[in-house]
Amino acid sequence: MTEALSWTEAAKALADKVTADAPAWHDPVSNTPRHRLVPRWWQRIPDSPTQEWALVDLPAHSSERLHAVYTDETLVTRVGPTHADHATPGERGKGDPTSSSTLPGLIVSMAHRLDVQPGHKVLDVGTGSGYSAALFSRRFGDENVTSVDVDPYLVEAARTRLAEFGRTPRMEAIDATGELPDAEYDRIMATVSVRPVPASWLRALRPGGRLVTTIAHTALLITADMGTDGIARGTIQPDPATFMETRQEADYPAKLNDVFVRAREGDGEDVRPPDGPVPDLWQEWPLRWLYELDTPGVETRAATYPDDGRRVVWLLAADGAWARAEDGTSPVVHQGGPRRLWDDLERVRRKWEEKNRFSLHTMRAELSPQGSHLLSPDDAWRFPI
């Protein structure tokens, strides 16, 4: 079997899987050589105490590599400031992912929601490996696609690799939260998460245009259509999507480890029993996302003590505020710093329960350059985003 046939067969099998509900995208997925856009990537090392990553560098034409690349999985290409392209054999990456080739099924799902029509001008925010730009260009023409990313290397690498198989969309290295390369677009899709929704996107979105994006630190996927009054209105989609946040530097700000030192076991200025059960914020994700919408920027950590099985949740903020909640036979909450973070969490939970724990997918979005919001079904909650 030739190399060309092997990758095209793998790409077709991937297309068969991810485009069942969006058949118009079968051809782009079948004919986009993802293996040429992602030659190497990072894979998390299980149970690594320092969040380390191993470099995956498989032989170029091996069946193992083709199987990995044409699986519906995200391939992490950059960890912290280190791109897999620049890693040395045996090197380990450290930190959080800062770029990736998003799982193709999610790209197709979002692109299907975007509902691009022939002749539409499309802005792809978050170039990454260039895969989504390749799909758009294949289906709608290079001349109709602009792709942007904050990282000049990502843009140049994607531009070079796309050109090798005939794709030449416009590509720019810019901070996408600022001014955009052109004044008007019919469709904008972001594979990075944002908060606030950049005013520049909304100024550039033509009346009748559509925006698909996610809200930072949540998995809330918004689809909104621009009205003639300059307000894009839409809803949260039923399927979640998690993306890395927009950044202006090579890496994200450091974790709040200094605050965690104080919060880990210290006594707080405010100590009391919790108001109700200590929630598992990794299982009760609607509550976690509501809390993020209400009280943004709080870092959440959790652990289970092996000696007695007690579960502990920590809330940490950049201003030094912290909370530690422990369940068990005598549940207790410790809070310190300038704010009472656990009080805020319990306030959000009480209000949500008073509203019958409405589904987050029933919230509405109103987005404008002057300010954007998510609204609860009865409009009693109005979150700036």
Domain extents for the chain?
Answer: 3-79+99-236, 257-354
pLDDT in tens, 48-69: 777 899 999 999 889 999 999 9
Label the pairing between strands 122-125 and 82-83. Answer: unpaired
CA-CA distance, 333 to 168, in Å (whole number)? Answer: 56
Q: Active-site residues: which are they?
A: 99
The SS3 call for residue 86 is: helix
Find the mean pLDDT for residues 117-136: 97
Q: Tokens in use for 84? A: 């897999």
Comparing 3-79+99-236 with 257-354, is the CATH topology the same?
A: no
Q: Give the CATH fold of the 3-79+99-236 domain.
A: Rossmann fold (3.40.50)
pLDDT in tens, 187-211: 999 999 999 999 999 999 999 999 9
pLDDT in tens, 344-370: 999 999 999 999 999 999 999 999 999
CA-CA distance, 308 to 271, in Å (whole number)? Answer: 21
Can you say how many angstroms the Cα of residue 375 is from the centroid of all Cα atoms in its chain?
A: 21
CA-CA distance, 259 to 304, in Å (whole number)? Answer: 19
User: Whole-model pTM?
Assistant: 0.94
Residue 143 carries which DSSP code?
G
Q: Residue 1's pLDDT is what?
A: 41
Give the residue among 372, 371, 365 at the shortest CA–CA distance from 220.
365
Residue 334 pLDDT exceeds 70: yes
Q: What phi, psi does 362 have (nearest 5°)?
A: -95, 0
Instruction: Tell me the DSSP string of 13-71.
Output: HHHHHH-TT-GGGHHHHHT--HHHH-S-EEEEPTT-TT-EEEEE---TT-HHHHHHHTS
8 Å CB contact between 148 and 125 = yes
CA-CA distance, 25 to 28, in Å (whole number)? Answer: 5
Q: Give the CATH fold of the 257-354 domain.
A: Double Stranded RNA Binding Domain (3.30.160)
CA-CA distance, 374 to 213, in Å (whole number)? Answer: 13
Lowest mean pLDDT among 119-123, 218-222, 278-282, 322-326: 278-282
Label the pairing between strands 170-173 and 145-149. Answer: parallel
Q: Residue 250's pLDDT is what?
A: 59
Query: Rounded to the nearest 10 degrees, what angle do helices 131-140 and 104-114 cross at?
Result: 40
Q: Residue 61's pLDDT is what?
A: 80
pLDDT in tens, 242-272: 898 887 665 666 789 999 999 998 999 999 9
